[in-house]
Structure 1
Amino acid sequence: MSAELMRLRCHGHRDIRATHTKTLEFTTSSEITGRATCVIGVGATLDGPAPSRLAGPLRITLSVGDHTFTVRALAHSAWRPGSGAVVRLSSERLPNTLATDADHASSDLPRDLLHALTDPDAEITVVVERDTEAAEARLVLYRAGDERDDRLAAEIAAADTVIAEDAGAGRVITVLGADADPWDAVLPAIAEGGRVLAVSTEDTRSAPVGKLLAAPDRPAVEVIGLPAELAVAALSPYPVPVLLAPHERRRQIGRLLGAHRLSRVVFRAPAAELPKILDEAGRTLGVRTVAVTAATSAAAERPWWGPVTEAAAQVTGGGDVLCCVDPAEEVPEGAADSDVDLSALVRALAAQSVSSKTLALALASLPTWSRKRAYEFVLEAAKAQARQPKDDTSR
């Protein structure tokens, strides 16, 4: 069974080509040219009230005369009726995107159906339903604010299980008229191919979410409500501090990763340079897993996480990418890089005449810090201190 969420009315057009291999679109415009190769319906209007939001798996069925065509896809819960409704095979969520991860594009339409769509008098009905037969395990990490959020309400309606990761999240869920499920409902829901919504208002991670992210067969993950730099870090199974370095120069990234082996390090780089950066990180530092995404808001909700050797292939095209490198070494129980800026601390102690040898020996006593690494870190901190302009005390 499926539950109807929205219905559109469109009509045909003589210039409908339906040759696009990556998208399909229902446009509100009544006129198109042959270049609009993804359009399969023009003059789209809502038939009935506008939906508040759409979320979760969808069945989108186009009907014209005796012809029908059904697409399965994943709703983009930020979409609102406007200039059109685009359905994409990719996971890119632009403002006009109704749904992503579709199983068909416009080029997949049967040719007899395409012929019917080229008739300007053809009446087209598009029914959008909740796909209750979809069974892909999915974890949605949702950072909520204090205000009433209709996008969150839609995600709650589409979820099989909803958990509150902190007290504030529990209050937000209650305001929306829903109840949080018990944490022990999470793993069974995922095992059955369900959709789990984990709502948070703080920088915390509940035990069930941590277990899901660390599981060998972890589900697909979406991240909603976080800036791109934090969204790409949210996929990591390691509960260690996040170091944001989006403006670090290319040649400094390797040193940064080496100095923070027990942190999640987020950096920005041109897509063309990512393979070299990650190859070096894997070979010299032992980095095993990373998360990557195009550095755009359209891609931030669907980062990719996996082996470092496969990461560069996940980002196509030009532009910049955001990458979160997981800890390069096993994280000992209870041990992780602190939030202390070690570079600043070393410089401050050196200014108090603490010797480089003493500083290096102190760092070498930390988990995963070798003596060689510690001496290199102290020397680099000293060089950085020397490069800083000295205060003018003559005035």
Structure 2
Amino acid sequence: MKIHAKGHAHVRATHAKTLEFTGEREITPRATCVVGVAAAFDEEGLALLRGPVAVRLAAGPHVATGTAVVNPHHEVTDRLVLRRSDHASPDTFAFRSTLVASDLDPDFVAALGDPETEVTLTLTETGPRRPLVLVHRRGLPEPEGRPGLLWRAADASVDLDAARVPDEARAALADGGVIAASVSGALEGVSQTAGAWLADAAAQGARFDVTGDATGTVSALLAAGLPVAPAVHLGRTDRRALAAPAQAELARTAPAPVVFRASAADLGVLAEVLAGSAEDRRIAVPDGHPDLGHGVAWLPLSEAVGAVGGEEDERVFVLAPPERAAWNVDLRPLLPLLVEQGVTARTLSTVLRPFGISRRELYDALGDAPADRSASASQGAGPRNKGSRDKGREKK
């Protein structure tokens, strides 16, 4: 998208950390980062931009280019700021910018000092985008701010209470689009089809943002490919609490995922607590991509301790249960029934993997080839549907 502005006699363009367009018509010489005034900003257009962007600044024959990353939490105001650092205040549109005011050559700056100069800033997504699933409970006010704009401009929508997921939603997921997902009640009550679709979305790298999820724990569970229940919620914790007997015992033995908020540095304490476990426990950690919503990556805990940066920043983590814990409630008799109802072995494998259940164990529990069961189930559905249609004709 393009943003148009004008030059100004007080443009100095000497700031070494930022570059700014402002909606104000007048500036002082102290505004050393401003390169364009009287700018008009398209709120919706800016809100829809996500991820890495190419930056192109032009004034007459002068052009300068760079790259930046859209700040997930930016708010469109009467100024647009690009920062070289990772500072993510709401007035920062993008950070990690390779183009700042002091990068412009003297001739370019001289052109910007002419009030008659037309200045254009072009921002172009360079992607690839990750899918974004915005989850909202019907009956509540629509999401506000940037999530609300993305919600209203979503590429597809999904009713999580319905028995079918629209093809448009599956296509948007594959294309890295935005999907507006609505539910009438708690997320624990979504339809079986919707639950499988949510798990598949997570497997495809989707990010999740849930309206009203102030702690981020629900979004983290969905991004990890897990249902929101059952789960053990520790809330906000720290190294001392994680090492305490009660929480340590929960982490060692809980038969469901353990979700908590802590600093990355505290993962080392968790690794010490679980050091005597038979296996290296897996943990879902933030994926490190700055974008709206929550995205995760599954890692062995031993690798996650050194892989998650920003030690002082609090994050939401999801610890998988011990490898065999999921079978404490014997799910095996249910698996053939789920396959006969159209749930694919691939979906079951995705959902059960964080619980430590391997694909081989899943196949053993099914007893024979899942593909054969799925095929027979779909073949069996044909005559039943046909019979229903025939009965309908007879009634007419």
Cα distance, 1:111–1:128 mapped onto 2, change above 3 Å: closer
Distance 1:321 1:81, change over 3 A: closer
1:221 maps onto 2:221 in alignment: no
2:76 aligned partner: 81
2:268 matched to which residue of 1?
275
Q: Distance in 2 between matches of 1:77 and 1:318?
A: 19
Q: What residue is the counterpart of 1:17 in the other structure?
A: 14
SS of 1:85's equivalent in the other structure is strand
CA contact (8 A) 1:291 1:306 kept: yes
Aligned to 1:105, which of 94, 98, 102?
98
Cα distance in 1 for residues equivalent to 2:314 and 2:94: 24
Q: Which position in structure 1 is the counterpart of 2:47? A: 54
Structure 2 Cα separation of the partners of residues 186 and 331 of structure 1? 34
| Structure 2, unaligned runs of 5 or more | 332-354, 357-396
- Name the counterpart of 2:235: 246
Aligned partner of 2:220 in structure 1 is 232
Is 1:258 the equivalent of 2:252?
yes
Distance 2:54 2:291 in 1: 23
2:141 — aligned with what? 147
Shift of the alpha carbon at 1:251?
1.5
Change (3 A) 1:227 1:326: farther
Q: CA deviation at 1:124?
A: 5.7
C-alpha separation in 2, matches of 1:113 and 1:80: 32
Distance 2:89 2:250 in 1: 33
Deviations 1:216-257 (A, max 9, x none): xx3252425322342333321122423221244232343221
Q: Is the 8 A contact 2:4 2:120 kept in 1?
A: yes
Which of the two has greater helix per residue?
Answer: 2
Q: Does 1:323 align with 2:279?
A: no
Out of 283, 307, 310, the residue aligned to residue 304 of structure 2 is: 310
TM-score by length of 2: 0.59
- C-alpha displacement of 1:210: 0.9
Partners in 1 of 2:325 and 2:86 — Cα distance?
Answer: 32
Deviations 1:234-282 (A, max 9, x none): 321122423221244232343221232422x222334433334246547
Instruction: Report what 2:156 is aligned to.
Output: 161
Cα separation, partners in 2 of 1:73 and 1:163, compared to 1, 3 Å: farther
| Number of residue-to-residue matches in the alignment | 306
The TM-score with structure 1 as length reference comes to: 0.59
Contact 1:293–1:315 (Cα < 8 Å) also in 2? no
1:183 corresponds to: 166
CA distance in 2, matches of 1:137, 1:88: 23
Within 2, Cα distance between the matches of 1:254 and 1:124? Answer: 63
Q: In structure 2, what is the Cα distance between the partners aligned to 1:336 and 1:56?
A: 46
2:60 paired residue among 62, 65, 86: 65
In 2, Cα distance between equivalents of 1:243 and 1:26: 47
Distance 2:12 2:275 in 1: 51
Q: Which residue number corresponds to residue 195 of structure 1? A: 177
Cα deviation code 1:83-133 (max 9, x no counterpart): 632346888754223346x7x4325986438852795336463456675x7
Root-mean-square deviation (CA, aligned residues, Å) is 4.5
In structure 2, distance between residues paired with 1:220 and 1:89: 28
Give the drift of 1:157.
5.9
Partner SS, residue 315 of structure 1:
coil
Partner of 2:129: 136
Q: Secondary structure at the match of 2:281?
A: coil
Distance 1:77 1:272 in 2: 24
Q: Distance in 2 between matches of 1:197 and 1:185?
A: 9
Q: How many angstroms does 1:302 deviate by?
A: 4.1
User: How many angstroms does 1:304 deviate by?
Assistant: 3.8
Amino acid at match of 1:183: P
SS in 2 for 1:258: helix
Aligned-pair identity in percent equals 18
Say which is worse superposed, 117-126 or 319-328, in terms of deviation: 117-126
Q: SS of the counterpart of 2:270?
A: helix
* Alpha-carbon distance in structure 2 between the residues aligned to 1:144 and 1:72: 37
Structure 1 gaps of 5+ residues are 171-180, 338-366, 369-395
Q: CA deviation at 1:287?
A: 1.6
Q: Indicate the SS of the match to 1:233.
A: helix
Equivalent residues of 2:84, 2:98 under 8 A apart: yes
